[in-house]
Copies of this chain bind each other. A is one copy, B any other.
Amino acid sequence: MKTPLDGFVLWFTWLACSGKSTTADLVYQLLHERGYKHIQRLDGDDVRQHLCKDLWFSQEDRVKNLERVSFVAELLSKNGAWVIATFISPFEKERKNIRNKVKNYIEVFVDTPLEICEKRDVKGMYGKARSGIIQEFTGVSSPYEIPLNPDIIITTDSPLEENCEKILAYLVAKKYIV
């Protein structure tokens, strides 16, 4: 069993239904298949259930949510774990804070057009956001600030597998994996 060479945080950002989790899950699986362990998926649902039950989706609560998540990501990565995190994380300031705080932050901008995200709408959330049932929904009624310096950009022009290979190639180039 290979052991991680160094901890890192692979941070997927952009809208709901953009493909963050699907891509992240496959990257996780591919790393596992290559024999790496100590890899931790962190996602919004899981974290909100265990760490942030008290928080909602106001701008203030989104900031608090990311503060707690980044604290956890920091502890994990400095102890050698690989964190694969998927959070909408709409504000550049908070993403920058996380980059400054955690060890080896790698920002992945999942640049899927809003139109496509909305067409997927797996949980019917965009529909509810458009009709006002869900308020402060990122991309519809709450802002998203485009990443200024993402480390990796993936788009729907390439299939899922190619996007994952691009991410793994980045990890190899930066010597996180061999």
**A residues near B, CB below 8 A?**
3, 37-40, 50-51, 53-54, 64, 67-68, 71-72, 75-76, 78-81
- Which of B37, B40, B50, B80 has a CB less than 8 Å from the CB of A67? B50
Query: What DSSP secondary structure best describes chain A's contact surface?
Result: mixed
Q: Are A79 and B40 in contact, CB atoms less than 8 angstroms apart?
A: yes
A64 proximity list for chain B (CB < 8 A): 53-54
Q: Are A40 and B3 in contact, CB atoms less than 8 angstroms apart?
A: no
Q: Are A51 and B68 in contact, CB atoms less than 8 angstroms apart?
A: yes
Known: A76-B76, A80-B80. A71 touches B54 (CB 8 A): no
Q: Are A79 and B38 in contact, CB atoms less than 8 angstroms apart?
A: yes
5 A-B pairs within 8 Å (CB atoms) are namely A38-B79, A40-B78, A53-B64, A54-B64, A80-B80
Q: Max chain B CB contacts within 10 Å: which of A40, A75, A80?
A: A75
A50 proximity list for chain B (CB < 8 A): 67-68, 71
- Which of B53, B67, B72 has a CB less than 8 Å from the CB of A72? B72
- Which of B39, B40, B53, B80 has a CB less than 8 Å from the CB of A38? B80
Cα distance A79–B54 in the bound complex, in angstroms: 26
Known: A50-B67, A81-B81. A75 touches B38 (CB 8 A): no
A51 proximity list for chain B (CB < 8 A): 51, 68, 71-72
11 other A-B residue contacts (CB within 8 Å) besides A53-B64, A54-B54, A79-B80: A3-B3, A40-B75, A50-B67, A50-B71, A51-B68, A54-B64, A68-B68, A76-B76, A79-B79, A80-B81, A81-B81
Cα distance A40–B67 in the bound complex, in angstroms: 19
Cα distance A64–B40 in the bound complex, in angstroms: 23
Report A60 CB to chain B, min CB distance, Å: 11
